[in-house]
A and B are shown apart, each in its own frame.
Chain A
Amino acid sequence: MIRTVTEILKYSLLAQPESGMGYQIVDAEYESGRREQLVALNASFLANSWSEVRKAAGSQRSFVEERLKLAAKESTARGALPAIRSLRVTKAAMAVREAPHKGPASAAPETETKTGDEFRRFSAFENDLRVTPERGLLPGTYATTAEDGDKVRTGEQAVPRYALPNTTPACHEFVIHPPSRTVIKQGIVQPAHDQPGGGVEVIFVNGSQAGTVSRGRTLPER
């Protein structure tokens, strides 16, 4: 969902520091009292996640503002958007996720998820025990990003990408939609167990709450 920022909120954003060049990670408080983390672009547009911005803006550099305006119009056309009471820039150190840490996730700094972030876990076990009966994840559970997980088309492909010591194809995919501000550490899988690694790995430091995990694809073995 992309939406435009009201004039009053625009001035509020311009009075606050950026989180990075041209954007702010903000804590939005709605009139209903609900809070949500959003991305503010050029103090003019709000999005739930960077993937939404990329989708709306497209890959070409020209006419980005027009595309975002169009996306915002489409959001409004789908129904009245909840009114925002305030936008407060959150602490950049925790909220901004720059390029993935190039070392293993275990050595990466802690960051927080944003609303709309999606992750995947590939397992050789249909009854993966790190997924709780309440459909959460236990603390210290590994996963990968949706973007990296999309590159895995077979259970066999997951093995070298995530340097898995169990060579049984990891055909069972689990999809994780954590709430915003779930603490993670993100890095790159290092070579291990005679496997090259190279995929993105994410550790859910404190796990993920109930109801955030669902079954995804059952991949072919090869």
Chain B
Amino acid sequence: MRLRLPSRWTTYLLSQPESGMGYQRVAVRLRDGRRFEDALVFNAEQLEIKQDIELKPDEIVEITVAK
């Protein structure tokens, strides 16, 4: 599942270091409490979650870049 992040997440992600060239490894928490580790963000704007789920951008409440 891949979706384009709202600009407020892009702004936050650009303030964080990359995990490799052009991507960041992130954990994502949703409003309903579900959490997805090992998600990826490309160019600070495209979120990719391995699981095959339906997701709207406004369901995301937290994105944390992995150390």
Contacts and interface: CB of A to CB of B under 8 A. Distances in A.
A203 interface: yes
A144 B17 CA distance: 16
Nearest to B40: A165
Given A164-B21, A164-B22, A170-B22, A129 B45 contact: yes
Nearest to B13: A129
Interface residues of A, number: 27
A42 B43 CA distance: 46
B22 A125 contact: yes
Given A165-B23, A166-B23, A128 B43 contact: yes
6 contacts: A125-B42, A128-B43, A130-B18, A130-B43, A162-B21, A164-B23
Contact of A130 (B14, B40, B48): B14
A118 B1 CA distance: 37
Interface of A: 121-125, 127-130, 138-144, 158, 162-166, 170, 189, 192, 201, 203
Nearest to A190: B20
B42 A166 contact: yes
Contacts of B40: 165-166
B21 A122 contact: yes
Interface string B26-67: 000000000000001011110010000000000000000000
B16 A129 contact: no
Contact of A163 (B15, B20, B48): B20
Contact of B14 (A138, A144, A162): A138
Given A128-B22, A129-B45, A142-B22, 18 more contacts: A123-B43, A125-B22, A125-B42, A125-B43, A128-B43, A129-B10, A129-B14, A130-B22, A130-B43, A140-B16, A142-B18, A142-B21, A164-B23, A165-B40, A165-B42, A165-B48, A166-B42, A166-B48
Contacts of B44: 129-130
Given A129-B14, A130-B14, A138-B14, A192 B20 contact: yes
